[in-house]
Every structure is written in C-alpha cells, then in structure tokens.
Amino acid sequence: MAESILRRWNQELTIAGAIVLLLLPLIGIQPKTYLTLTIAGIAMGMLLFLVASGVSIIFGLMDVLNFAHGALFAWGAYVGFTVFKYLMKWVVADSVLQNLAVFFIAIVAAMVAVALLGVVLERVIVRRVYGNHLFQILITFGATIVLVELIRVFWGPNDETMTVPLTFAGNWDIMDVIVYRYRVICIVIGAMVYAVLQLILKKTKLGTIVRAGVEDRDMVQAMGHNIYLLFTGVFAVGAGLAALGGLAMSIFSLQVYPDMGGTYLLFAFIVVIIGGLGSVTGSLVGALIVGLTYNYVAYLVPWAAAGVNILIMIIILLIRPTGLFAAGK
C-alpha cells in the first residue's frame, strides 16, 4: 500500500518536474522560438527513443548491455543511404507519393538488414557471454570496432551527404511559428513506434512473455518458453529500431559517417539511465527530457549543450539511482 502511494507520488513528482522543466526555458526564450525549439526537441527525443528503447529492452530481458547498438544505428543509416542513392529519382521527385515510397523502402531495407545483422551478432558473439557483464561490454565493444570498420570498407571512410526527400524538406509557417516538416515526420514515427511497442508488449502473449522475462528469466524458461529464441528475437527488434533511428537521424542531420553511432549510443545511455533500464516508457520520457533540454540549452548557452544532459543524468542518479521508471527487479 505504502509502496503504491509512494509510486504514485513519484509519478506526480515526475510529471510536475517535467512541466516545470518544459516551461523553464521561457524565461530566456521568445515564445515563438520556444515553440520551434520544443518541436525540434521532441523530434530529437523521438529519434533518441528509437535507439534507447532497444538498448533498454535488450538489457531488461537479456541482461546484456549492448555497446554495439551505436554501430547498428550507423549501419541502418548507411543501408538507407544506399537505397536513397539507387532511387535518387524518387528522392528528388516533387511527389509526396514517390517520396513516401522511397522513404518506406529505405526504412524496410534498413530495418530488415540490420535486424539480420543483429541476429548474427546475438547468435555468434553475444550468446557466448551471457551472464558476464564485463565480457559482454568488451565483446560488443569489439563488435563495434569491426562493424564500423566494415562500413569504412564498404562505403568508404568519408562523410556522405544525405538527401531529404523533396516534399519532406522545408517548413510550415503556422502563425509565425516555424515548423520544419521533417521534424513532424520524426515525431510521428517515434509516436507510432512507441504505440506499436506498447501494443505488442501489453496486448499480445509474446509481449507479455517478454515483460515476464524482464522480471524473471529463469521462471519464464521453467514455464516452457524458449528463452533463447526470445533473446534472438528481441535483439533483432532492438537492432531494427536502432536502424530506423539511424536512418531517420541521418536525414535529420543531412549526413552519414562511419563513426556516427558513437555519439548517439552515448545519448542512448544517458536516456536509459534517466528513464530506467528495462522500461520502454522510461526510454520515451528520458529521450524527450534529453531532446528538449539539449535544444533549449543549445540555443541559450551553446557550449553547455553537451554537458547539461550528463548533469541531468548525474542528478537522477543521485536522487533516484534506478532511473525514473525502474522496471522489474
């Protein structure tokens, strides 16, 4: 009883904190700029969510901290880049339909390819080190080196420019508030992924088993569920989401480069520490916090932008070491 009251209290505290945090920047920012920044922050948050949710579920279910997630992210971006390159006609066509088609093909290609890569990674490498955190980190770090180097071998070591599908570029001007179209698309993608994930986790039997596994792997096994198959599946889904994040982010930042995964892996770590490892909702909230503060601070005090998220992470670690939405265990 007391526990549930405490939990509710915590939830209210979180919401209150979030609102204050959200409105605080208004002190230093014009309302219109503020709205633009907020949309940018939410868009960035949604993209971070795509990366972080994979890290979070993989850790929650498998107890594996996947340092190779950033490399999978970069692979997603590069696969999408290749699709764009071959279907450049459709990318630059002034047709919503063709733009959507190429975008969709790129997403499917990136997610499928990287999910397969994830399966290989899990089966060949990660599986050997279950239960040993130190070796997991080492081995997935080694996998990162190999995957990033392979990008350099296949696509060359230099930055490449990513093209925004023509009708996604530009912005709407809604009562003097500038709203970039692609950011809205990012928000829609993130929200959709969150909804689908929640639906699967909450409403399907498979999702229920995954949530049960996050709490107690051994029990799920002892009930007759093939946990290893589940691990591979979840790893593949996590990899696929990272790929989607990578592709979306590369369009956002207009470029792909071999090392691009490193920065976002770091963001993902910050997000899951803030949100709580193992919780999808935690990842979303954490990602939005990181995305928003990053954008506000980058506008107000540009040099402090990178540090402020680490500061938030440290504060969260001090007051609530398991993150805002601690899952299971």
Partner 1 sequence: MGEQGVDETILEVQGVHTFIGQHHILQGISFDAKADAVTVLIGRNGAGKSTALKTVIGLLPSSKGKIIYKGKEIQKNRPFEIARMGIGFVPENMGIFSELTVEENMRVAMLVENEATARRLDRTLEMFADLKKFWKAKAGNLSGGQKQMLAIARAIVNDTSLLLIDEPSKGLAPIIVDAVIDAINRIKEHSVVVLVEQNFYMASSVGDYFFILDDGMVAHAGHVEALIQDEALQSKYLGISEAEE
Partner 2 sequence: MAGPTPVQIFHEEEKKRQYRSGTFFLKVGLLLLFLLVPVLFPAFKTIDLAMQIVLFAVLVASFDILLGYTGILSFGHGMFFGIGAYCVAFLIGKYGMPSYTNLALGFLIAAIVSAALALLISFLTLRVKTIFFAMITLAIAELAIILATKLTGFTGGEDGISLNTPGIFAVSFNMGDFMGLEITGRVFTYYFILFSCIALFLIMLRFTRSPLGRVLQAIRDNVQRAEALGYNTFLYQSISITFGCIMAALIGGLYAMWVGYVNPESSLGVLTIMLDVLLMVIIGGMGTLYGGIIGAAFLKITQTFLPDLQHLAMDLFPHAQLLHNVLERWLLLFGILFILVVIFFPKGVIGSVNEYLLQRKMAKPTISPSSFTPTPPGNRP
User: Where along the sequence are the contacts to partner 2 (CB under 8 A)?
Assistant: 65, 67, 125, 128-129, 132-135, 137-139, 141-143, 145-146, 149-150, 152-153, 259, 262-263, 266, 269-270, 273, 303, 306-307, 310, 313-314, 317-318, 321-322
With tokens 């063709």, the residue in question is 98
Q: Taking CB under 8 A as the rule, does residue 4 contact partner 1?
A: yes
Nearer to partner 2 among residue 207 and residue 262 (C-beta): 262
Q: Taking CB under 8 A as the rule, does residue 158 contact partner 1?
A: no
3-state secondary structure 172-210: EEECCEEEEHHHHHHHHHHHHHHHHHHHHHHHCHHHHHH
How big is the site for partner 1, counted in residues (CB under 8 A)?
22
Q: Are 138 and 63 in contact (CB under 8 A)?
A: no
Q: Taking CB under 8 A as the rule, does residue 205 contact partner 1?
A: yes
Shortest reach from residue 92's CB to partner 2, in Å: 32
Give the span between the Cα atoms of 167 and 98, in whole angstroms: 10
Q: Which two tokens stand for residue 289?
A: 């916090």
Interacting positions 228-247 with partner 1 (CB under 8 A): 228
Given the rule CB under 8 A, which of 118-126, 188-196, 213-221, 244-252 is the region that contacts partner 1?
213-221
Give the span between the Cα atoms of 44 and 58, in whole angstroms: 22
- β-strand partners of 178: 173
Q: Taking CB under 8 A as the rule, does residue 94 contact partner 1?
A: no
Length of the chain: 329
Q: Taking CB under 8 A as the rule, does residue 88 contact partner 1?
A: no
Q: Taking CB under 8 A as the rule, does residue 308 contact partner 1?
A: no
The interface partner of residue 177, options being partner 1, partner 2, none and the CB cut-off 5 to 8 Å by kind, is none
Q: Can you tell me which of 6, 219, 254, 301 binds partner 1, judged by CB under 8 A?
A: 219
- DSSP-assigned letter for residue 238: H
With tokens 């107690």, the residue in question is 216
Nearer to partner 2 among residue 188 and residue 301 (C-beta): 301
Nearer to partner 2 among residue 97 and residue 310 (C-beta): 310
Q: Are 91 and 77 in contact (CB under 8 A)?
A: no
Give the span between the Cα atoms of 189 and 47, in whole angstroms: 8
Q: Which two tokens stand for residue 190?
A: 């993130």
Where does the chain show beta strands of DSSP type E?
160-161, 171-174, 177-180, 255-256
Number of neighbours of residue 328 by Cβ within 10 angstroms: 15
Q: Taking CB under 8 A as the rule, does residue 208 contact partner 1?
A: yes
Given the rule CB under 8 A, which of 26-34, 175-183, 226-234, 283-291 is the region that contacts partner 1?
226-234
Q: Taking CB under 8 A as the rule, does residue 61 contact partner 1?
A: no
Give the span between the Cα atoms of 34 and 42, in whole angstroms: 12
The interface partner of residue 89, options being partner 1, partner 2, none and the CB cut-off 5 to 8 Å by kind, is none
By CB under 8 A, name the binding residues for partner 1. 4, 205, 208-209, 211-212, 214-216, 218-228, 327-328
